[in-house]
């Protein structure tokens, strides 16, 4: 995995030839006022779940979107696959804008972007055998008319997902599988459509430690074969090991982004620094000296003005309350490592 990380460090931000380019994405949810609220003419409130997010994923690249619960990482993924509508910004996939496509126009695209979820106990239909689960996407997309060909596709997807030998698993129901095997079935059902981009939303957090590495190695293998992988995770250690790039989200914004190794070893944004300082280490002799931020992530209904992190920031200054910082390149960091903090240098020239 470290080779992957080094390759990533060498990789320059893939603005050219990116598979997925998300620019200034905005996705807000209305907060229901209720009848009483409407009668009392309470102001309409919105949850600013995704509030100006910019990132890209290249083919053969794994990008980890990292952050605490409520930071908007899952909404970002759902907006990318257009399960949630965006109120602004653009989503380009394979060079074409997909943010404005109608549901009918989106259909072919749904094949090319696949998503797997956190909980393989919930995401599989308990009445479907492994065959049914993996075959269903091909049928829904009417891709392969002949039954034998479909069966061959199912076998191939199972082998790629590490469910070998397929005969052993193909007629089983989810309850006859372990957690790791279930997640492999979910991955096989995504692979059967030969997607270009795989979104993995917390793919291992429900699994036992001993099987996590196997699932992550599987995703890493798919990346090596040229698939783009967007991994949503709260686990910085996993992201550091398996992703090429890490984007750290806070309250609907990416506050720092760059090559995975560089972000965890040389964090720049005060939030990333604090987040990294509280990650427990494996070696008891390297106990962290946690820089614990008080409180919890504020409510995305009331995003603080200026820098959204300033109320919890240990180094905030007066000007942080006024200026909303943008992601920008910095001195003394790897190429493609950017952070959104006005206190960080250089700003020598535009």
Partner 1 sequence: MSARPPVIRVEDLNVWFDLPGGGELHAVQGVTFELRAGARMGLVGESGCGKTTTILAMMGLLPATASVSGKVLLDGEDILVGGEETISPHRWSDISMVFQGAMNAFNPVRTIGAQIAEPMVLHGMATGKSARSRVAELLELVGIAGDRANRYPHEFSGGMRQRAAIAMALACSPKVLLADEPTTALDVMVQAQILELLVSLSTTLGQELGLTVILVTHDLPVVAQVCDRAAVMYAGEIVEMGGMSEIYHDPRHPYSRMLFAATPDLLGDDEVLSIPGAPPRLDREIVGCPFRPRCDSAFEPCSTVRPGRREPVAGHEARCHLNDPSLTELPS
Residue 263 to residues 16, 74, 95, 201, 255: CA-CA distances in angstroms?
A: 22, 21, 28, 21, 11
The residues, ordered by sequence, that sit 6+ positions from 211 with a Cβ below 8 Å of its Cβ are 178, 179, 180, 204
The least CB distance from residue 234 to partner 1, in Å, is: 7
E strands present in the chain: 18-31, 45-58, 62-66, 88-93, 96-97, 113-116, 197-201, 228-233, 245-250, 253-259, 328-329, 338-339
Quick one: 58 or 218, whose CB is closer to partner 1? 218
The least CB distance from residue 205 to partner 1, in Å, is: 10
Distance from C-alpha of 214 to C-alpha of 161, rounded to nearest angstrom: 10
Q: In what order do the strands lie in the sheet with 245-250?
A: 113-116, 197-201, 228-233, 62-66, 245-250, 253-259, 338-339, 328-329
Q: How many CB atoms lie within 10 A of CB 347?
A: 11
The least CB distance from residue 285 to partner 1, in Å, is: 6
The least CB distance from residue 134 to partner 1, in Å, is: 22
Q: Are 186 and 124 in contact (CB under 8 A)?
A: yes
The string of DSSP letters for 112-131 reads: HEEEE-S-TTTSS-TTS-HH
Quick one: 184 or 196, whose CB is closer to partner 1? 184
The least CB distance from residue 31 to partner 1, in Å, is: 16
Binding residues for partner 1, per CB under 8 A? 1-2, 68-69, 178, 208-214, 216-217, 234-238, 240-242, 264-265, 274-276, 278-285, 287-288, 290, 292-293, 296-297
Distance from C-alpha of 51 to C-alpha of 74, rounded to nearest angstrom: 13
Quick one: 141 or 273, whose CB is closer to partner 1? 273
Quick one: 113 or 116, whose CB is closer to partner 1? 116
Quick one: 138 or 276, whose CB is closer to partner 1? 276
Of 277, 133, 114, 132, which is closest to residue 200 (Cα–Cα)? Answer: 114
Quick one: 167 or 285, whose CB is closer to partner 1? 285
The least CB distance from residue 261 to partner 1, in Å, is: 9
Quick one: 3 or 348, whose CB is closer to partner 1? 3
The least CB distance from residue 274 to partner 1, in Å, is: 7
Quick one: 37 or 88, whose CB is closer to partner 1? 37
The least CB distance from residue 180 to partner 1, in Å, is: 8
Residue 332 to residues 98, 258, 335: CA-CA distances in angstroms?
A: 36, 13, 9
Q: Are 205 and 233 in contact (CB under 8 A)?
A: yes
């Amino acid at each position: 995995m470290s080779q992957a990380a080094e390759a990533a460090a060498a990789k320059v931000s893939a603005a050219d030839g990116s598979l997925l380019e998300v620019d200034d994405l905005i996705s807000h949810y209305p907060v229901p006022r209720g009848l009483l609220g409407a009668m009392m003419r309470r102001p309409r409130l919105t949850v600013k779940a995704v509030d100006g997010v910019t990132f890209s994923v290249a083919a053969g690249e794994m990008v980890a979107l990292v952050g605490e619960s409520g930071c908007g990482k899952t909404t970002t993924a759902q907006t990318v696959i257009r399960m949630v509508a965006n109120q602004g910004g653009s989503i380009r996939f394979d060079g074409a804008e997909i943010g404005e496509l109608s549901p009918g126009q989106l259909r072919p695209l749904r094949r090319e972007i696949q998503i797997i979820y956190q909980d393989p106990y919930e995401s599989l239909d308990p009445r479907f055998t492994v065959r049914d689960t993996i075959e269903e996407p091909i049928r829904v997309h009417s891709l392969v008319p002949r039954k034998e060909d479909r069966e061959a596709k199912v076998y191939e997807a199972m082998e790629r997902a590490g469910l070998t030998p397929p005969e052993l698993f193909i007629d089983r129901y989810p309850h006859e599988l372990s957690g790791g095997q279930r997640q492999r079935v979910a991955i096989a059902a995504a692979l059967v459509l030969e997607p270009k981009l795989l979104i993995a939303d917390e793919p291992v957090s429900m699994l036992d430690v001993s099987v996590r590495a196997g699932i992550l190695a599987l995703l890493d293998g798919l990346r090596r074969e040229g698939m783009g992988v967007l991994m949503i995770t709260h686990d910085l250690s996993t992201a550091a090991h398996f992703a090429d790039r890490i984007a750290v989200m806070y309250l609907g914004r990416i506050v720092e982004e760059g090559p995975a190794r560089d972000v965890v070893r040389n964090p720049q944004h005060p939030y990333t620094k604090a987040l990294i300082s509280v990650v427990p280490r494996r070696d008891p002799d390297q106990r962290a000296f946690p820089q614990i931020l008080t409180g919890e992530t504020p409510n995305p209904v009331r995003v603080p003005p200026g820098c959204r992190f300033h109320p919890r920031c240990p180094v905030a200054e007066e000007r942080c309350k006024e200026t909303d910082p943008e992601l920008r390149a910095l001195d003394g960091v790897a190429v493609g490592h950017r952070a959104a903090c006005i206190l960080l240098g250089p700003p020598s020239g535009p």
